[in-house]
Chain A
Amino acid sequence: MKFKAEIDIMPLKALLDPQGKAVTSSLKNLDLSEIDNVRIGKHISLEIEADSKEAASAKVEEACKRLLANQVMESFEFELEEIA
């Protein structure tokens, strides 16, 4: 079975996100002052072969922990969908 994972990686809430802060102030310059607290992370999609959704989920989790996210500074979450 083949699955597709859609992974979101975000800076931890406790951390200053200078990129998000700069974008927040830029949006205010566009008269969109209602918008606040922009935070910018990464979206990663990948495909994975596995015997079950559980097995695929375990592999994606391992990929996130070992390489895709650095848990000292980032959190991650993902959704899996069977594609074949």
Chain B
Amino acid sequence: MKFGVITFPGSNCDQDMVYVLETILEQEVVQLWHKDHDLKGVDFVVLPGGFSYGDYLRSGAIANYSPLMKEVREFAEKGGFVLGICNGFQILCESGLLPGTLLHNDHQKFTCKNVFLKADNNSSLINREVPLDEVLNIPIAHAEGRYYASEETLKEINANNQVIYRYCDADGNVTADSNPNGSLENIAGVCNKAGNVFGMMPHPERAADPELGNTDGLTILKSILAAVPA
């Protein structure tokens, strides 16, 4: 599969993502620049983490109108796969490609730590291969990660299995104490209704190299590879 990783001004997880996809998962990767108008024939677009445009106005708000986002929108509308991690998730929510939004953490602090999460269902590409009883230990690093959506939207995404991951404790219980930022219903990631656009606050690419002692993130990334023909 050919991946494209977009760099926005202020992206800082783009090279980590390129490294993991290319070196660890041995996939073809092209680096895309936000000012271009060409997705270079990729099968899967990744919007990495970081602080695009310095989080000015709102996280992700300005990157949403970067030139390349026009092509990303068209690609997604035609069914192309798009994944946003952290700031990438914020950009996808701002663009309307994903439902809801990400507010300031309820405790108002930037939080950088390992948290536990688990797949909510096996309905989409990004959680299809993740056993529902498997608890993953994945880092988060954000100040605006409190997932919020209107009551109506929340009902809809639950009914459509659009919640892809939820924060939980080490034993897999979804509890208030295991919610690191005040997200509604411990939501860590969601997908669109069609199931081709995904966003999550935790960073699977930061838990993917055996040298770092934690490869739980590979479980998530390999789910993508297993489900899509090479």
Residues of B within 8 A of A15 (CB): 103, 148
Q: Does B80 sit within 8 A of A, measured CB to CB?
A: no
Q: Does A72 sit within 8 A of B, measured CB to CB?
A: yes
Q: Does B104 sit within 8 A of A, measured CB to CB?
A: yes
Residues of A within 8 A of B105 (CB): 18
Q: Mark A49-84, 1 if CB is under 8 A from B, else 0.
A: 000000000000000000110101100000000000
Q: Does A38 sit within 8 A of B, measured CB to CB?
A: no
Residues of B within 8 A of A72 (CB): 93, 100-101, 148-150
B65 touches A67 (CB 8 A): yes
From residue 2 to 20 of chain A, which have CB atoms closer than 8 A to chain B?
11, 15-16, 18-19
Q: A68-B57, A70-B58 are in contact. List 8 more A-B contacts (CB 8 A).
A: A19-B108, A22-B108, A67-B61, A67-B62, A67-B65, A70-B94, A73-B103, A73-B148
Q: Does B156 sit within 8 A of A, measured CB to CB?
A: no
Name 22 interchain pairs, CB-CB below 8 A, sorted by A.
A11-B103, A15-B103, A15-B148, A16-B103, A16-B106, A18-B104, A18-B105, A18-B107, A19-B104, A19-B108, A67-B57, A67-B61, A67-B62, A67-B65, A68-B57, A70-B58, A70-B61, A70-B101, A72-B93, A72-B101, A73-B101, A73-B148
Q: Mark B80-112, 1 if CB is under 8 A from A, else 0.
A: 000000000000011000001101111110000
Size bracket, chain A contacts: 10 to 19
Residues of A within 8 A of B94 (CB): 70
> What residues of chain A have their CB less than 8 Å away from a CB belonging to chain B?
11, 15-16, 18-19, 22, 67-68, 70, 72-73
Closest to A42 in B: B57
Complex CA–CA separation, A6 to B149 (angstroms): 28
Size bracket, chain B contacts: 10 to 19
Complex CA–CA separation, A22 to B109 (angstroms): 12
Q: Does B182 sit within 8 A of A, measured CB to CB?
A: yes
Residues of B within 8 A of A68 (CB): 57
Closest to B102 in A: A73
Closest CB-CB distance, B76 to chain A, in whole Å? 18
B58, B62, B149, B182: the one within 8 Å of A16 (CB): B182
Complex CA–CA separation, A18 to B150 (angstroms): 18
Complex CA–CA separation, A38 to B14 (angstroms): 38
Closest to A74 in B: B58
